[in-house]
Structure 1
Amino acid sequence: MQINNLKDMYIAELQELVSMEGQLAGALKRMAAAASHPSLKEAFMLHQEETLVQRQRLESILQKHDASAAAHIDQSMQALIQETKKMLAMLKGDELRDAGLIASVQKLQHYEIAAYGSAAALAGQLDLRDDQKILHESLEEEKETDVLLTKLAKSEVNQQAVAA
């Protein structure tokens, strides 16, 4: 896709977000299966459901702008997910794997937070207030998931990994 103006850049950012959410939904399902801590499994499954809703929101925005949702594959998300797989293969024991899963998913979350923040800022610059509101909603959900994972790591999972 040739990017000639800020609107084109905005559409490209949305397409990347669609790709990110699609990749993440599959990865979260696999991570939930790999997690042993019940609260962590639940957090991953809830975020996977939320991720699918976020993707639908993005597809709706793109449709409103007559743009394809399948135009791009986000290679950064692909690489982060691959790094997660590599790390999980190295971690021994359920407790350590759970701590590693949280650390890995938080890296993915931070990437999403940056991407949603950028897309929302572009929507604001383009005076697309409805889009901006929707993107901020997803941005806040990503931040809430990050906070939840931090609390879970500090209160339970990491302590169990230290004790193992």
Structure 2
Amino acid sequence: MELASLHELYVEGLRDLYSAEHQILKALPKLHKGATNPKVKDVFATHLAQTEQQVVRLEQIFEELGMSPKGKHCKGMEGLVAEGADLLKEDANPDVLDAGLISSAQHVEHYEMAGYGTVRTYAQLLGFAKQAELLQTTLDEEQAADLILTEIALSVNVDAIVGDGEMVE
């Protein structure tokens, strides 16, 4: 596809995020099942519900644009999801696995924050104020999820060290 305008780039970015969110919807239940720490399980369950709403927002934007959200596969998210799936296959100490799952989820959050921040700015520049507001709502949710994961990681990562029998200096 030739991208001749910022509007076309905006639509491509939205389609990429739509694909990414659908991949996340499939991955989060697996991460939830693989996690052992109740806080990690809770954050995955909460973010699954948020992701469902994020998809609804993207569909609303595409409806306003009079376009289909389909037609693009997010290769970046495919790689991030595959890394999380690979981690679940490891024979890992449960605390270490939880630490790894948090890391994997934060990689996903940062990818999404970059994508949503970009399309939000495009929407603002293109005069789509309502769409920019919807995208900002999602960006805020992604940032909040990342902060929660960071907070949880502070204890889970220590548990992973202790679980290994390593000393914290």
Q: TM-score range by the shorter chain?
A: over 0.9
Query: One-letter code of the match for 1:74?
Result: C
Structure number with bigger Rg: 2
Kept in 2: contact 1:36–1:95 (CA 8 A): yes
TM-score (norm 1): 0.96
Partner of 2:67: 67
Cα distance, 1:21 vs. partner? Answer: 0.6
Cα distance, 1:3 vs. partner? Answer: 2.2
Cα distance, 1:11 vs. partner? Answer: 0.8
Partner of 2:89: 89
- CA distance in 2 between counterparts of 1:100 and 1:35 reads 10
Partner of 2:167: none
Gaps of 5+ in 1: none
Calculate percent identity across the aligned residue pairs.
Answer: 32
- CA distance in 2 between counterparts of 1:67 and 1:29 reads 29
**Equivalent runs, 1:36-55 vs 2, <5 Å:** 36-55=36-55
Q: C-alpha root-mean-square deviation of aligned residues, in Å?
A: 1.0
Partner of 1:78: 78
Partner of 1:107: 107
Instruction: After superposition, give the CA deviation of every residue in 1:24-70 in whole Å (9 maximum; x if it has no partner).
Output: 11111110000001111011010011001001100110111011111
Partner of 1:152: 152
Kept in 2: contact 1:15–1:70 (CA 8 A): yes
Partner of 1:162: 161
Partner of 2:33: 33
Gaps of 5+ in 2: 164-169
Kept in 2: contact 1:102–1:149 (CA 8 A): yes
Report the CA distance shift for 1:103/1:36 in structure 2 as closer, same or farther (over 3 A).
same
Query: One-letter code of the match for 1:68?
Result: S
Partner of 2:143: 143
Cα distance, 1:92 vs. partner? Answer: 1.1
